């Protein structure tokens, strides 16, 4: 009996320290200093976190994430947590720790690379419509050295639509996170993702009144690491639209399913539509290039796409015209084809007088039978009716910090038998933005909300005011002479050129209703 008792104690002791296995992980919401995690555990834990290192395998000293909870009854053992304080432009490796024990298995080590904190060149992947969850297409992705994978809908085809959240959870479990190729990719490549119909509430299902709307929203938040959602109320709180910035690209991800009504009233809903317009204006004000991501085709004329909401498409197109939104490109999914247009076929204004061209990449299918939903694409469309295809897009951003950005969009097709990959089409365009003013630190005084950049410069400066009233601006040389005077209007950007004066130190005097403040300017030709 004594021996049996000892064996029983040993078994209990071993069990109490048994590894809480990590089933899979996914990262997203990537910035130059932070990232979000989702991790599926094998059993309950109130203390789940990521141990992050620049070494592979990860070793101390670690950067620790926040602590998440995995509970079978409340979140289906899906823990969520975030890490901040990361260094820009750095490759990191991570493992998941539960209750003080890290899962150090080589197969469970993940990785990601943070972007730089300013203008930069980078690559990302674009795709949609993955009906075959363990597709070999994903074997290509890491070879392009992308920062992240942008999925514009139909991450799975489970078509869940139930008030029971487990139906929507099981869609992720069965169609995404139990397939080895996908699991391996998502552990190594951050994702940015908005749903379409098949991964929202089923084929051609839309709107906040759909039976599974609340469950879809809950499951998405549990399983998918995402950027912050705007503060909202009412039906709109379930929507998953979001925005993020990498360098001088502002990504605007629209949710075109959860707020949609097909009676030509709205695809976005009133709250999201106003938010969307504000994002375009913000990008324009800050000299950024917008990448607008929507699940279905902006160009579509057939079946399920923007053709079902033509009044709103015209409204948005005329808003872009009237607001002088010059610098934007578009990425769409849903249609099972790859296509690129240079923007000449995207004028949906009533008068057909949109002066701007927004290049479009229709990226799909990751793996599905081919289809076409209408529209004209200058660089061609690639699909075969009812023939399975595996296609995706690679987007290369070239930004050397000057006043322009260039974008190269390339489509690829993978042969699922030979696994050979061929190029379909490439299109390149450049857009002039002006000086970089995104995420500028306040280089004036604490008393004024005025930024001055670049400083030092060759004599060409930009003064950005976030004040509610106009200010008087004067620039004085070292000998006390006023060489420049102007009015800096409220909430505006004023270019100032003193390059005709000699190199040296000058003083900018800013006079407002708060008083007078000064800032040193350095000119070096």
* φ, ψ dihedrals at 310, nearest 5°: -65, -30
Looking at the fold, whether 506 and 370 belong to one and the same domain comes out as: no
Looking at the fold, whether 328 and 401 belong to one and the same domain comes out as: yes
Print burial letters for 19-30: b (CB count within 10 Å at least 16), e (below 16): ebebbbbbbbbb
Looking at the fold, whether 183 and 324 belong to one and the same domain comes out as: yes
Query: For the sheet containing 242-246, what is the strand order?
Result: 242-246, 249-253, 289-294, 328-332, 360-362, 338-341, 381-382
Distance CA 15, CA 17 (A): 5
Looking at the fold, whether 122 and 105 belong to one and the same domain comes out as: no
Q: At what angle do helices 213-223 and 165-175 cross, to 10 degrees?
A: 50
Looking at the fold, whether 28 and 149 belong to one and the same domain comes out as: no
Tokens 């950007």 — which residue?
A: 493
* φ, ψ dihedrals at 125, nearest 5°: -100, 145
Name the nearest CA neighbour of 245 among 27, 28, 31. Answer: 31
Looking at the fold, whether 384 and 459 belong to one and the same domain comes out as: no
Looking at the fold, whether 416 and 307 belong to one and the same domain comes out as: yes
For residue 222, give its domain range: 118-432
Tell me the CATH number at 503.
Answer: 2.60.40.3080
- Which strand (E) or helix (H) includes residue 181? helix 180-188
Cα-to-chain-centroid distance, residue 338:
21
CB atoms within 10 A of CB 482: 10
- Return the SS3 of 307: helix
Tell me the CATH number at 99.
Answer: 2.60.40.380
For the whole model, what pTM was predicted? 0.82
- Which strand (E) or helix (H) includes residue 8? helix 2-16
Q: How many structural domains compose the chain?
A: 3
Looking at the fold, whether 278 and 414 belong to one and the same domain comes out as: yes
* Sequential pLDDT tens for the chain (525 residues): 445 444 444 444 444 456 788 999 999 999 999 999 999 999 999 999 999 999 999 999 999 999 999 999 999 999 999 999 999 999 999 999 999 999 999 999 999 999 998 899 999 999 999 998 889 999 999 999 999 999 999 999 999 999 999 999 999 999 999 899 999 999 999 999 999 999 999 999 999 999 999 999 999 999 999 999 988 878 899 999 999 999 999 999 999 999 999 877 899 999 999 999 999 999 998 899 999 999 999 999 998 999 999 999 999 999 999 999 999 999 999 999 999 999 999 999 999 999 999 999 999 999 999 999 999 999 999 999 989 999 999 999 999 998 899 999 999 999 999 999 999 999 999 999 987 764 443 333 345 678 887 888 889 888 888 788 899 999 998 877 889 999 999 888 889 999 999 988 888 988 887 777 888 898 887
CB atoms within 10 A of CB 359: 22
Distance CA 139, CA 151 (A): 16
DSSP letter for 89, please: S
Looking at the fold, whether 192 and 237 belong to one and the same domain comes out as: yes
Looking at the fold, whether 79 and 127 belong to one and the same domain comes out as: no
Looking at the fold, whether 132 and 196 belong to one and the same domain comes out as: yes
Looking at the fold, whether 133 and 91 belong to one and the same domain comes out as: no
């Amino acid at each position: 009996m004594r021996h049996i008792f000892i064996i029983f104690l040993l078994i209990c002791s071993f069990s109490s320290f048994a590894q809480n296995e990590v089933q899979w992980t996914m990262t997203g919401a990537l910035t130059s200093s932070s990232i979000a995690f989702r991790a599926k555990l094998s059993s309950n834990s109130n203390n789940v976190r990521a141990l992050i290192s620049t070494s592979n395998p990860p070793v101390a000293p670690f950067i620790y994430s926040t602590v998440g909870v995995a509970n079978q009854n409340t979140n289906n053992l899906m823990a969520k947590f975030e890490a901040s304080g990361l260094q820009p432009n750095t490759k990191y490796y991570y493992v998941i720790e539960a209750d003080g024990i890290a899962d150090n298995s080589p197969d469970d080590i993940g990785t990601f690379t943070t972007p730089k904190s300013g203008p930069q060149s980078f690559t990302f992947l674009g795709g949609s419509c993955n009906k075959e969850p363990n597709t070999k297409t994903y074997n290509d992705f890491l070879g392009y050295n992308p920062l992240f994978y942008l999925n514009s809908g139909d991450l799975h085809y489970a078509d869940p639509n139930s008030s029971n959240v487990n139906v929507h959870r099981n869609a992720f479990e069965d169609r995404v996170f139990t397939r080895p190729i996908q699991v391996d990719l998502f552990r190594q490549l951050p994702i940015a993702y908005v749903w379409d119909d098949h991964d929202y509430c089923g084929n051609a299902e839309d709107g906040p009144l759909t039976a599974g709307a609340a469950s879809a929203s809950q499951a998405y938040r549990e399983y998918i690491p995402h950027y912050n959602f705007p503060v909202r109320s009412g039906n709109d709180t379930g929507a998953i639209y979001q925005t993020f910035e990498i360098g001088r690209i502002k990504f605007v991800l629209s949710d075109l399913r959860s707020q949609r009504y097909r009676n030509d009233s709205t695809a976005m809903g009133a709250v999201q539509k106003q938010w969307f317009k504000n994002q375009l204006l913000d990008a324009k004000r800050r000299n950024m290039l917008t990448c607008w991501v929507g699940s279905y085709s902006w160009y579509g004329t057939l079946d399920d796409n923007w053709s079902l909401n033509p009044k709103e498409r015209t409204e948005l197109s005329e808003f872009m015209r009237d607001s002088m939104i010059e610098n934007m490109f578009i990425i769409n999914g849903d249609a099972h084809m790859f296509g690129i247009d240079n923007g000449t076929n995207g004028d949906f204004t009533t008068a057909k007088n949109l002066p701007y061209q927004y290049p479009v990449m229709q990226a799909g299918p990751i793996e599905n039978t081919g289809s076409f939903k209408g529209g004209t694409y200058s660089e061609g469309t690639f699909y075969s009716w009812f023939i399975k295809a595996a296609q995706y897009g690679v987007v290369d951003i070239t930004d050397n910090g000057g006043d322009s950005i260039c974008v190269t969009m390339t489509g690829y097709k993978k042969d699922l038998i030979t696994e050979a990959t061929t190029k379909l089409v490439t299109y390149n365009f450049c857009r002039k933005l002006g000086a970089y003013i995104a995420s500028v630190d306040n280089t004036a005084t604490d008393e004024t909300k005025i930024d001055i950049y670049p400083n030092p410069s060759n004599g060409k400066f930009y003064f950005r005011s976030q004040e509610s009233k106009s200010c008087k601006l004067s620039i004085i040389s070292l000998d006390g002479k006023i060489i420049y005077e102007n009015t800096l209007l409220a909430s505006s950007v004023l270019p100032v050129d003193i390059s005709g004066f000699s190199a040296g130190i000058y003083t900018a005097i800013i006079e407002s209703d708060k008083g007078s403040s000064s800032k040193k300017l350095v000119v070096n030709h």
